[in-house]
Amino acid sequence: MEIVAVILLLVVLVMIMLGYPVAFSLAGVSIIAGIFLVPDFLDFLPLRIMGIIQNYVLISVPLFIFMGLILEKTGIAEDLLRAMAALFGKFPGGMAISVVLVGGMLAASTGIVGATVITMGLISLPAMQRVGYHKGLSTGTIAASGTLGQIIPPSVVLVLLGSVLNVPVGDLFKGAVVPGILLVIFYIIYILIISFVRPEWAPPLEESEIAIIKQNNFALHLIKALFMPLILVVAVLGSIFMGIASPTEAAAVGAVGAMVLAGIKKKLNRQTLRLVMAETSGLTTMVFFILIGATAFALVFRGLGGDTLLTSFFSDGSISATHFLIILMLIVFVAGFFIDFIEIIFILVPVVAPVLMMYKLDLIWVGILLAVNLQTSFITPPFGFALFYLKGVTPPEIKTKDIYAGIIPFLCIQILVFVLVFVFPEIINII
C-alpha cells in the first residue's frame, strides 16, 4: 500500500504536467483511490474539508488579495512610482532604484506576484525605455522587484505555508522581514554599481520630465502617494508584530484601509469595486478548490501509509537532516518551473512535513527557505512565471533573450540571500 501511495503522487504530478486542472486532478484521483483502498475514507473526508474551511487564518487570504487589487486597480501603485521617480530620477539608476523601492512597498501591500509584475511592467517599462535604459537592466529590475511579494509580508505564500506547516503566520511574517529587506538592499547595490560602471545603461531623468511630475502641489501629492500607503503597511504589519491583531484581523484592517486610501484619492467607484471583488472571488475560489483537492490527497496518501514510508526511509540515518533539506529545496526549485506555488505548497509540503518534524527542524526557518526558494524559481530562465508575466506586457522590440539576460544578476542575488538564510538561520530571528 505504501508503494501505491507513491504511485498516486506520481499520477497526480503527471496529470498536472499534462495540463489537467490541479484541483480536480487532486480531488478526482484521490477520491477514486480512497473509495477503493482506504477504509472509512468517505467518513473522514467531510470532517477534514470542514476543518480546512473553518481555519480562521485562511480568511486572511481573500482579504490580502482584495487589499492588493484595490491598490492596483485604483492607480495608487502608479502614483507611488511617479512620486519615487521624482525623488530619485535625477540620479543615474534612479528610476531603477524607484522600481525596486516601489516593488518592495507593493509587496508589503499586495503579496500578489503576477499583478505586481504586470503593473510595474505597464507603468515603469515605457518610461525607462523612453529615458534610454538598457533593456536587460530595466526588465530584470521589474521582474525581480515584482516577485518580492513572495517573501515580504504580508505574503499570501507565507499565509498558506503557515497553514500547511501548522506554524503561526505571524512568526513567518517576522522571519521574512530581514530576508526581504536584504533582497531590496542587494538589488539597489547592484543597480548603483551598474550605474557607476555603465552609466549609459541607467541615465537620469531629464530635468523637464522631473518638473512635469513635480508640478501642481508636489508635496501634497507625495504625501498621498508615498506616506499613506506606508501608513497602511505599518498598520497591517505593526498590529501583527506587536501582538495587537492576528494576521486575519490585520488583513481586514488592510482591506478597509486600502478602500479608504482609494476613497481619499477619489478613485474608488462602483465599477472598480465590482471588478476587484470579482477578481478576488476568482483567485480565492481557485486557492480553496486546490486546498480541498490537496486535503483529499493528503488523507489518501497518509491512509495508504505514504508518510510512514517516507519517514522510515529517512530514519535509518543514511541521509542527514541537512542533506534532506537540500534535496527538498532542489525539488521545490525545479517544481517551481512547471507548477504554481499554490500547488507546491499544498501537494509537496504536506507530504514531506512528517519528515521535517522527524528531523526536528525549525519549521519557521524551513517556511522562510521555501518562500525564498519559490521566489527564486519565479525568476529563473527559461521557465520562471514572472518572466512570462513580464513578456506579456512588453513591447515587440524587447525580446525574450533581453529579459533572460537581464534577470541573471538578480537571480544570483536571490541565490545569495537563500544561501545566507540557509547557513545563518538566526537571520530570521532578528525582528
**Residue 246 CA to its chain's centroid (Å):** 20
87-111 pLDDT, tens digit per residue, is 787 788 888 998 898 888 777 665 5
* Helix ranges, 74-217 (H): 76-88, 94-109, 113-131, 135-146, 156-165, 169-197, 207-214
336-394 pLDDT, tens digit per residue, is 776 777 778 888 888 888 889 888 899 999 999 999 998 888 888 877 778 887 888 78
pLDDT (mean) for 325-341: 83
pLDDT value of residue 84: 80
User: What span, in angstroms and rounded, lies between the C-alpha atoms of 321 and 298?
Assistant: 23
232-269 pLDDT, tens digit per residue, is 888 888 888 888 888 889 889 888 988 998 888 888 88
39-74 pLDDT, tens digit per residue, is 888 888 888 888 777 878 888 888 888 887 887 788
- Please tell me whether the peptide bond between 154 and the residue prior to it is cis, using omega within 30 degrees of 0: yes
- All three cell numbers of 137: 537592466
Angle of helix 169-197 versus helix 247-264 axis, rounded to 10:
50
26 touches 296 (CB < 8 A): yes
Q: How many percent of the chain have pLDDT more than 90?
A: 22
User: What span, in angstroms and rounded, lies between the C-alpha atoms of 91 and 137?
Assistant: 16
- All three cell numbers of 202: 541607467
Q: So where are the chain's domains?
A: 2-429
- All three cell numbers of 174: 517576522
160 touches 346 (CB < 8 A): yes
Number of Cβ atoms within 10 Å of the Cβ of 77? 27
Selection from 198, 144, 122 nearest residue 408 by Cα = 144
